[in-house]
Chains A and B, each alone.
Chain A
């Protein structure tokens, strides 16, 4: 390991930066880095399927940005490395917050002696101590009228005085009643109404502690020059290619307590996780994350040798690398010889929505037509074949479930009938008949999507199913959009009749998916289907201030049943992700909720200890 010496580290950084600056693109950066990080330097090479658009916590809206932001910056809370279901735990916070009985006041203490990584943004280039005021400053930035935050929705209308502060012109010297410091290391947050998901918002990149010095020094360039107190420090960032980070030597010493992290020998020992017990993260000297969008390139890079150490498995390779898909994926012997594998169900789901604002398929002022439309939607859902979709597009290993509460959240109901996810052509035809729908009078179905091969194939598959219930081929139309942005814009303008959507959970609470069907969040909000059921809305509002409880879970499930009964969406399917990493890497990866938090626990084995 490198010496924990500020001087040596500074020198090494200087040498590396100078050498890299002098390198042209043709020179292998990995080798240059290895050359200068002398000794048993550990470099872990991760890969992501896309590049972040910004590393400023204000805009860490994508999975890719969040992955990096939470490794450069600190957040109050994080998720346990190994525990499933997910458990939120203190990160920069000393402990979980003290919450008042009415659920409106949160008092959070942060750790003392935590310093920002050295940066030219600070006087003399030396990072100062992290203080409670930094969090308040960081949240204020989201509500600054000159900033275009993508994360302000997390606290919009939730904290006393925050929205008013924005409306008054975002003067940073003004105090916000609901956001105060009790001392240099204690924060007091006062809410307008109970907000049980608040602590989860403080485990996201959006809530990262940003030093005001860095904002002042870099301005808009903060999006490519992140400065935080996280486990890693950015050394070189090429926005469309890779992020090269080195260990932040000022990162606090916190030896790993495997039991606390949720270690289970049956699940984790095979990955060598026991070897990191007692060590203090981060465990590697350098972390390189390559952004490789093209799955074939990523696969080739992974198989090439040590170019990247980790990859998600492309769908087209699944059949080749597995000797068994069900009931549990198993690698072929030759793959198992070389790689570790972990498969996990995504923390989200895909679904196909009907646009309820479209009178041809959704709500209609004519009560008779309104009822017929519902029968048509239900018929289409009954004709939808989730099994085939799973087999064709998700290698047959994804999980289908009824409604909009996916299996990954604790509120999921395993006892709920799955009849809404099973294809039943007889039932579909019966519903068409009951609704008086015939080949001649059915409305044209316009299926919208991005002009990609996969979306088009999904449309063609959908059209085939519709033909099975008597829909004329020419009445199932594909409405293609040049980019996801165009498609999303059309969805937000409620212009598309039927469309496939995906959702990744921000936190493990079904509220995060139930809000997708809450009436007031209709287009241009997150409720893309524009479902607007007063009873559903009432229950959503009621549960939004409730702490997790059996009662709340029951209400969640009632809401789920409403969505199923009204045939608003054809849902759902949670994809199964398969990850592979090289045998010399000690890791237990997680793509979404734990996400980038797992990277500080990744270790590399020497050849002898492999």
Chain B
């Protein structure tokens, strides 16, 4: 049986020789239909979240104006919950909660992961590397949800305990990936050249090495972003999540008793919105990973 090689992408990329890795990646990403759909959906959700943030919509999420378990109507698009609250308003407001958690966790854990990973990689096989590896090993050896729950318990009362818990666990993967990349990069000629002309080590790390790990950080931050959203839902379901406000996790937790009483609106609203966002983020993340993969980009 013969194999037919699809060379169309390779040909197009070949035509772009001379352009930067980023422009090649952007070009490739734009040609990925699934990735573009994912990005569009994520962008739409982000717009919704921004609208909630600036008070354009989702402002009545806490009002108890309706009757218990009202059906779908022009007033209440998704019906009402047991307290007579508008499920649509709550679902929309939860988008902001999801993005807030995702963004905070993704940014901070990526920064920590990048910094410690770069340190670890640059000083590999030294005591700095040993300590960071030990720390990552310890954190990774604790079952994730047990660890997150423990931190959330320990910091109960602190509004951002869930964020802290997730950041404390999510940075390690990023750090490992960056470490590996830095170990590779530090032996490249441009780094050796910088060393030869006497550039201080911290400048080498910050100016010369870290920028070359951005493709990893970008992909990893999208993965952390969606991971944080999913974890928030689970933690909120367990009562360890969002303190003030509402989230899809809280809505699903609320729906556990409602479902037994034959009321599904809360469950459907939160689950479907969560599913679409997570799916879109995964598609976006996969496409980004493909686009930024140095092997594929340089093909």
Residues on A facing B (Cβ under 8 Å)? 295-296, 299, 314-317, 319-320, 391-392, 450-453, 456-457, 460-461, 463-465, 467, 473, 477-482, 486
Besides the known contacts A460-B62, A460-B85, 11 further A-B residue pairs in the complex with CB atoms under 8 A apart: A296-B260, A314-B260, A320-B262, A392-B82, A451-B239, A456-B250, A465-B64, A478-B244, A481-B156, A482-B152, A486-B156
**B68 and A461 within 8 A (CB):** no
Per-residue 0/1 for B78-92: is the Cβ within 8 Å of any A Cβ (1 yes, 0 no)? Answer: 000011010000000
Query: B residues 132-190 with Cβ under 8 Å of A?
Result: 152-153, 156-157
Chain B residues with Cβ under 8 A from A479's Cβ?
A: 157
Provided the pairs A392-B83, A452-B239 are in contact, do residues A464 and B63 lie with their beta carbons within 8 angstroms?
yes
Chain B stretch 241-259: residues in CB contact (< 8 A) with chain A = 243-244, 250, 253-254, 256-258
Residue B261 interfacial (CB < 8 Å): yes
Residues of A within 8 A of B64 (CB): 460-461, 464-465
A480 to B262, alpha carbons, bound, how many Å? 28
Q: Are B261 and A453 in contact (CB under 8 A)?
A: no
Complex: A528 Cα to B153 Cα, angstroms: 24
Q: Which residues of A contact B239 (CB under 8 A)?
A: 450-453, 456, 480, 482
Chain A, Cβ-Cβ closest to B83: A461
Question: Which of B62, B153, B243, B244 sits near A482, CB closer than 8 Å?
Answer: B153
B224 adjacent to chain A (CB < 8 Å): no
Of B63, B240, B256, which one neighbours A453 at CB under 8 angstroms? B256
> Is A457 in contact with B82, judged by CB distance below 8 angstroms?
yes
Docked-complex contact A453 and B62, CB < 8 angstroms:
no
Query: Which residue on A lies nearest to B246, using beta carbons?
Result: A460
CA distance A465 to B84 in the complex (A): 12
Q: Is A316 a contact of B261 with CB atoms below 8 Å?
A: yes
> Which of chain A's residues have a CB closer than 8 A to the CB of B254?
453, 457
Please tell me which one of the listed residues B83, B153, B243, B262 contacts residue A457 in the complex, with CB atoms under 8 A apart.
B83
* A464 touching B157 in the complex, CB below 8 Å, given contacts A317-B260, A451-B240, A452-B239: no
Least CB distance from B74 to A in Å reads 22
Q: Which of A296, A467, A478 contacts B243 (CB 8 A)?
A: A478
Question: Of all chain B residues, which has the CB nearest A483?
Answer: B153
Decide if B156 touches A480 in the complex (CB within 8 Å).
yes
| Residue pair B62, A464 in contact (C-beta under 8 Å) | yes
Complexed CA–CA distance, A327 and B152 (Å): 46
A320-B261 contact given A391-B68, A453-B254, A463-B62, CB 8 Å threshold: yes
Question: Is B62's CB under 8 angstroms from A473's CB?
Answer: yes
Residues of B within 8 A of A461 (CB): 64, 83
Contacts of A391 in B (CB 8 A): 68
Using Cβ atoms and an 8 Å threshold, which residues of chain A touch B152? 482
Q: How far is the CA of A473 from the CA of B258 in the complex (A)?
A: 25
In the bound complex, residues from chain A placing their C-beta under 8 Å from that of B253 are 453
Q: How far is the CA of A463 from the CA of B85 in the complex (A)?
A: 12
Number of interface residues of B (CB under 8 A): 24
Does A392 contact B261, Cβ atoms closer than 8 Å?
no
B residues near A478, Cβ cutoff 8 Å: 243-244
Q: 17 pairs across A/B with beta carbons < 8 Å? A: A316-B257, A316-B258, A316-B260, A317-B260, A319-B261, A320-B261, A453-B239, A453-B254, A456-B250, A457-B83, A457-B254, A461-B64, A463-B62, A467-B62, A480-B156, A482-B153, A486-B156
Q: Which residues of B contact A482 (CB under 8 A)?
A: 152-153, 156, 239-240
Which label, helix, strand, loop or mixed, suits the secondary structure of the B interface?
loop
Chain B nearest CB: distance from A52 CB in Å? 25
**Across-interface contacts of B256 in A (CB, < 8 A):** 453
Mask, B4-46, CB within 8 Å of A = 1, is: 0000000000000000000000000000000000000000000
**B contact residues around A456 at 8 Å (CB):** 239, 250
B residues sitting closer than 8 Å to A (CB atoms) are 62-64, 68, 82-83, 85, 152-153, 156-157, 239-240, 243-244, 250, 253-254, 256-258, 260-262
Closest chain B CB from A105 CB (angstroms) = 52
CB <8 Å contact, A464 and B156: no
A487 to B254, CA, bound (A): 21
A5 to B239, CA, bound (A): 54
A123 to B68, alpha carbons, bound, how many Å?
64
**Nearest chain-A residue to B263 (Cβ)?**
A316
- CB-CB under 8 A from B62, the residues of chain A are 460, 463-464, 467, 473
Which of A317, A450, A451, A463 is close to B261, meaning CB atoms less than 8 Å apart? Answer: A317
Closest to A477 in B: B244
Which A residues touch B68, using CB under 8 A?
391-392
Residues of B with C-beta under 8 A to A314: 260
Q: Which residues of B contact A319 (CB under 8 A)?
A: 261
**What is the CA–CA distance of A391 and B153 in the complex, to the nearest angstrom?**
33
Given A392-B68, A451-B239, A467:B260 Cβ within 8 A: no
CB distance from A476 to the nearest CB of B (A): 9
Q: Taking the nearest CB of chain A, how far is it from the CB of B170, in angstroms?
A: 22
A399 to chain B, nearest CB (A): 20
- Closest A residue to B258 by beta carbon equals A316
Q: How far is the CA of A48 from the CA of B64 in the complex (A)?
A: 34
Q: Which residue of A lies closest to B68 (CB)?
A: A392
Chain A residues lying within 8 Å of B257, measured Cβ to Cβ, are 315-316, 453
Interface centre among A314, A456, A481 (most CB of B within 10 A): A456
CA gap between A296 and B255 in the complex, in Å: 13
CB of B230, distance to nearest CB on chain A (Å): 20
Q: How far is the CA of A296 from the CA of B63 in the complex (A)?
A: 29
Question: In the assembled complex, which residues on chain A have CB atoms less than 8 Å from the CB atom of B250?
Answer: 456
Q: In the assembled complex, how far is the CB of residue B276 from the closest CB belonging to chain A, in whole angstroms?
A: 24
Residue of B nearest to A455 (CB): B239
CA gap between A299 and B85 in the complex, in Å: 28
Question: Taking CB as reference atom, which chain A residue is nearest B62?
Answer: A473
Considering the chains assembled together, what is the distance between the CA atoms of A213 and B240 in angstroms?
Answer: 47
A453: nearest chain-B partner, CB-CB = B253
**CA of A464 to CA of B256, assembled, Å:** 22
Report Cα–Cα, A460/B246, bound state, in Å: 10
Closest B residue to A315 using CB positions: B257
Q: In the docked arrangement, what's the CA distance between A197 and B68, Å? A: 43
The answer for the CA separation of A464 and B62 in the assembled complex, in Å, is 7
* Shortest distance between the CB of A505 and any CB in chain B (Å): 27
**Closest A residue to B237 using CB positions:** A453
Complex CA gap A315/B263 in Å reads: 14
For B260, give the chain A residue with the smallest CB separation. A316
- List chain B residues, Cβ under 8 A from A450: 239
> Chain A residues with Cβ under 8 A from B258's Cβ?
316
B23 CB to nearest A CB, Å = 46
- A391, A453, A478 — most chain B CB neighbours (10 Å): A453
Which chain B residue shows the least CB distance to A479?
Answer: B157
| Residues of B contacting A473 in the complex (Cβ-Cβ under 8 angstroms) | 62
A411 CB, nearest partner CB in chain B, Å: 35
Closest chain A residue, CB of each to CB of B238: A451
Question: Closest Cβ of chain A: how far from B5's Cβ, in Å?
Answer: 56
Q: Looking at the assembled complex, report how far the CB atom of A483 sits from the nearest CB atom of chain B, in whole angstroms.
A: 9
**Assembled-state Cα–Cα distance A461/B84 (Å):** 9
Q: In the assembled complex, which residues on chain B have CB atoms less than 8 Å from the CB atom of A465?
A: 64
Name the residue of chain B whose CB is nearest to the CB of A464: B64
What's the Cα separation between A479 and B82 when bound, in Å?
A: 21
User: How far does the alpha carbon of A452 sit from the alpha carbon of B62 in the complex, in Å?
Assistant: 18
CB distance from B90 to the nearest CB of A (A): 10
